[in-house]
Structure formats: C-alpha cells, structure tokens
Structure 1
Amino acid sequence: MRVFPVQTSGTPLPDSQAEQPPVIRRAEVVAFALISLLLICVVAVLYVAKAFFLPVVAAFVVGTMLSPAAGFLERHRIPRALSAVLIVTAVGAGVTFMVGLISSPLMEWRTRLPELGSLLREKLHIFDRPLALWQELQNMLGGSDAFAVTPFQMPKVEWLQPTLEFLSPTFTEFLLFFATLILFIASWRDLRRALIMTFTGHDSRLRTLRILNAIEGQLGGYLLTVTMINFGVGAATGIICAVTGMPSPAGLGALAATLNFLPIIGPVAMFTILLMVGVVAFSTIGAGLIAPLAFVGVAFLEGHFITPTIIGRRLELNALAVFIALAFWTWLWGPVGGFLSSPLLIVGLILREHLWPTVSPNLPPD
C-alpha cells in the first residue's frame, strides 16, 4: 500500500520575538507641527510686542525675587503695600547709585573721544611691523590682500546713539516696569492664593503650592547670592584699578559688578573695556595689560570656583543651557533679556521637575 505525504499548506509562521521599529503615527506628526507653530507664534509675539512684555515679565521675575524680602518686612508688622514701596525705592536708589558711578567717567571719556582716538592710534603703532610681516608672508604665498595693513580708524560718534537706544529702555517701559513691580509685590500673596485655588483637586493644589514655593525660594536665593558675588567682583576690580593706577577705579568697579549680571558676555565686555582704558591711560602696552590680566584672574576664580560652588550645586544649571538661554533671550529682548535668561531658565527647570518628574534607571557602572 502506497502512503502519500500529507501536504501542510498555509501553516502560519511562529510570531517573531524581535522588537518592531516604532511607527510614527499621523496624529503625532500633526501634534508636533502644531506645537512648533505655537512656539513660533509665541516667540514672534514676544519679539513684536517687546515694549509691553519685556517690562511686565521683568517685573514678574524681579518681583518674585524680592517677595521674600517683602514677607520678612511683613512679619515685622510692616504692611505689604508699604513693604513693596520701600523695597522698590531701595532697589531704585541702588541702581541709580551704580548708574551714577558708571556714567560719570563715561561722560568724561565721551567728550575726549577724538583725543583718545589719537592716543590709541599712537599706542597701536607697535603692531605695524608684525602686520607688515604678515602682509609680506601673504604676498609670498600668493594670498589675497584681505589682511592688508590699514591705518587704525577710530569709530565715528554716530554709533553712540543707536547703542544707547539699544541698551536703555524708554521712559514708558521704565514706568510700566516699576508700576507693575510695586503692584506685583504688594499683591503677590493674594495672587498665590488665587492661583492655587484655581485647581479643584487636592493633588493639583499641592503641586502648584510646591512649584510656587520652589520658584520663590530659588529665585530669591539666586538674586541674593549673585548680587553678593557680583559686588565682590566689582570691589576686587575697583581695588585692582586703584592699585595699578587706572583712571576712575570706582566707576570701573561698578561697571564690572553691573556687567557681571550678564553671564559669559559681561566678563568679556569688561576685559575689553579694561584693555582699551589701560592702553590709552598708560605710556606702555605692558603697563596697560596689568589690570585686564588681573581681572581675567578674578573672573576665572569667580566663574570656575566661587559661583559653581555656591550656585551650581544648588540649582544644577548646565553651562550649555545657560549659554543657549543667554543667546536666545539677548537676541529677543536685548541686555535686559540677557539678565532675565538665568532666572527664566531656573523657572523652566523647576516646572519640568515638578510637572514631568524623571525616573532615572539603574544604569551599570562605567
């Protein structure tokens, strides 16, 4: 008897245990596109309506920083409204004092701008020979005349007016800032309560309370710590300028303290200013380099040891994130935006920590 083999047609294959690649759904692409468009619209509105949003946001951030001081005065039986007026008046007096120290030598140097330009040209003659040798080397190698030696030309005075317009807000922005700041500090406790009571669930209210407490505490500590550090940098710079014989050491120290509120950009700008003043003020280039190089040492100690030790361990600010935030807000709102970049970055980190907490996996050791 012949046995025919049984044909097994259509037998399903076993399921594969390998992970399939993730599939990007259409809804995810649409959501990403909508969020991107929303961010672009928000940035465009903040840029176009800078005259309104800049003083209001600055008042909110500075008011949150100063709220612990208002609470301290309120605990000593000083009304909240009066505390707000006293704090804003004290801050305004301090800012006015710093501006007075800085503006006095600036006005003097502005009147002597042509004389300072001629002095600077004379001091830079020592670079004529190296530049000439560089030009000869370029000609021998067949290079272009892109690096041809040209006589030093002092910038024209026309750049001062747009620079001052860029650095200084208008009177209306100042008025809006101070009015919003006083009202914000005076009503911050009521605003906190209203914001917390907006949510209905107990967990949501508790999370909002923790976020507000963290923002107020972190920003208040940041302002106090950074102000003390910057005043120390300004005092050290003033002492260096006085010891080395630089003109207007008090004004240069106040300028160093003010510019140090701008991360990265401030110390670089202060070094450039000290270099130019030293070259003009002293008879030799070597004597003019003493104060700028000493300031580099102070800035290095402050940036790599003092500030990371005091602030970095508490707030854990990434250097790349600080630089990107500084570049973005400076481009969007100018120097005031650069001052607000670190506080806004702190607020963003606090929101991310409380709203989207991350659970770190147990990674193997390196």
Structure 2
Amino acid sequence: MRKLTTFLLWPIAAGILVAFVMLTFFPQGISPSLAPVEIHQVSPTPPTSDLGVGPVSYADAVAKAAPAVVNIYTRTRAPQTSGDQFEDPALREYYGQPDANGRTQRQVISSLGSGVIISPQGYIVTNNHVITEAESILVALHDGREAEAEVIGTDPETDLAVLKISLKELAVIDLAISQPLQVGDVVLAIGNPFGVGQTVTMGIISATGRNQLGINTYENFIQTDAAINPGNSGGALVNAMGHMIGINTAIFSRSGGSQGIGFAIPADLVRSVLKGIIENGRVVRGWLGIEIQQMTPALAESFGTEEAWGLIIAGIFRDSPAHQAGMQPGDVLISIDGQPIRSGQAAMNQIAVTKPGALLKLGLLRNGELINVEVTIGNRPPTRTN
C-alpha cells in the first residue's frame, strides 16, 4: 500500500509543479487573446540634401500607395413617406408611386467615397460621413476584387470610421507617423472623385494645424492645394515617397468642386483613432464637463483683467469632474499644468488626450483672484449620432 501511494504521489506532484510554472511565466497562455493589429509604419525620412532637386516623376510613390486605396460604395434608403404628401407629379416620379396602403416604396440612394487599407487583417480607414446610415457597404479594391465591409466602429468627433473586409493578400499602405510636415512639401491625393475611378492629383502642403473650421469637434488638419473633389473623401494623402500622411476629408469651395483648399486628417490622429476603436470599441478621451467661451478684449474688460486670453467657463455639467472639483460658471480657465491657454481648440485637445483618471492642475481666475485646482479627468461620454 505504501508503494502504491508513493507511485501515485510523484505524477501528482509533477503536475502541480508544471501548472505552477505555466501560471507564473505564461499567465496569458491559458486564455485566448486578440491578435494585435498590424500597422505598417515608416521611420522619419530626411529631406534631400540637394536643394531644389526633386524627382521628375512620382510614379514610384503612386505605385507604392495606390494599391492600398479603395473605392467605397454605399447604399441607403430614403425614409418611407405618406403618398398624399406628393401631389406634384415630379415628386411622385422621384419617390415612387404609393402602394395600396398609401405609402411609397423607399428609394435606394447610392453614394461613393474612398478608403485606405491600413492593416493586412483587412482594416480600412475612411471618413465617417462616407458610411453614415449606410445599409450596405461595398469595397472595390485596386486589383479588381470586391467585398462587403463590416463597420467596426466610428468616431464622429474626428469624422473617421473603421471598416473590415475578409480578403487575403491585401496591399497595405505605410503610415508616416511623427514625421515633420513642412509647408511646401509635395503631396499626392489618391481617391475616387465623382466615381470616375481611382485618380491621383498633386499639390503641396499649404498649411498645418488648421482648426476652428467648424468641420469636426477635434481638428488638426493638413491643408493642401492638391485637387480634392466629391468621392475623394476617405482617400489617402501621401508624400513623395508614397507614405500616407493623412486622410482626405473636406474641401473649402463655393462651387462644390476643388478650389485649391482641401483638408486632411493627419496620420498620427488616424492611427490613434484606429487603435482606440479596435481595442475599446470607441475612442477613449479625457473629459472635464465644461462649456467654454473664448475670451475677447471686450469680455476681458468686463472681467476686470488686462489679458484678453483664456477660456470663460460658461457652463458646467452636473456631477462632472469640473463640478466635483469646485469649478464654477464664470471662472476663467487660464492655464493647464502651468501652460497658458491661448486657444480653446488647443485646450480641448490637451484635455481629450489626457488619460481618464489622471490629475490635471488648472489655473483659474475667479472674481479677479488667481486660484489653482486639481481635477481628476473623467471619461468623455460617447457622442450621440441621432
């Protein structure tokens, strides 16, 4: 009996020892984990040392980037409406004849845009406005293949959306992350304007850091004079090496066509939004819970200060981080972590990129006196899209 007990104890002890080693050194090995998203990035490329010397053709850059730019076709349906509202024959022809119940058939509306394959796993980045309210999304690749796309997530505040297709051997674009952009750099816009097919236009970077345009909540646009037209939205803005520096998003136009003022979302922001949507289902941003108004010289005089800068706290959400920290409507926010506030957009961006739960030191002007408060940043609630 003693020999039998000894014989059984050795396997049990060995099994316990192996389990201890596995739990200690490979804790993640016993549960499945999500495969990391593979994003191709490139190191900063130094400018050419030969002043004034540039390529006579950008064919290599186009050949590198164009296969990763896709055409996106969406289908939506106009809402059903009562037939008696359309006495005008032209409206009846447009919306369709009413059925026996007096309701018209919903008309199918097609639209188009562009997108960029950002990962070999099939992730595609485009503009949120390209796929908003779409009932179906068809992606047409540069090599002629087509696939239905799934919406992984959207971020209306930056006008970005992430799609996914289930195809193999995908061409993937290289992202130029943290590369210095200079006014005058040559750029190429690749997309599907007016549905004519993939088109490449050339221009330069006209400006960087454009904001307060009223396009998105969070704005840090690259401005370019490369021709961007309807259908280009969601396409790639690439540099002379074929690396993506931005996603084409909007144009400033009085006619609806390109007038040399286009805007693209920088690649750094695109990558940040992409990772947030894939890892968390949405972009996690810091939040104070305040409504602000930019200080003006006239308002500065009424507040009894000589400096016409800072942000007036116009409102505070109940139980928000600002409310819990004792901030009050009428306070003037003049600094964040010791840095003076020069624009509302910059301050909002700084708060947004702060991780929820972190502490921020805010400088406030209240009744002419400077006070300092510490605020624990909250998690910005999701934006309502309806």
Larger radius of gyration: 1
TM range (shorter): under 0.3
Point out the structure with the larger strand share: 2
When normalised by structure 2's length, the TM-score is: 0.24
Point out the structure with the larger helix share: 1
When normalised by structure 1's length, the TM-score is: 0.25
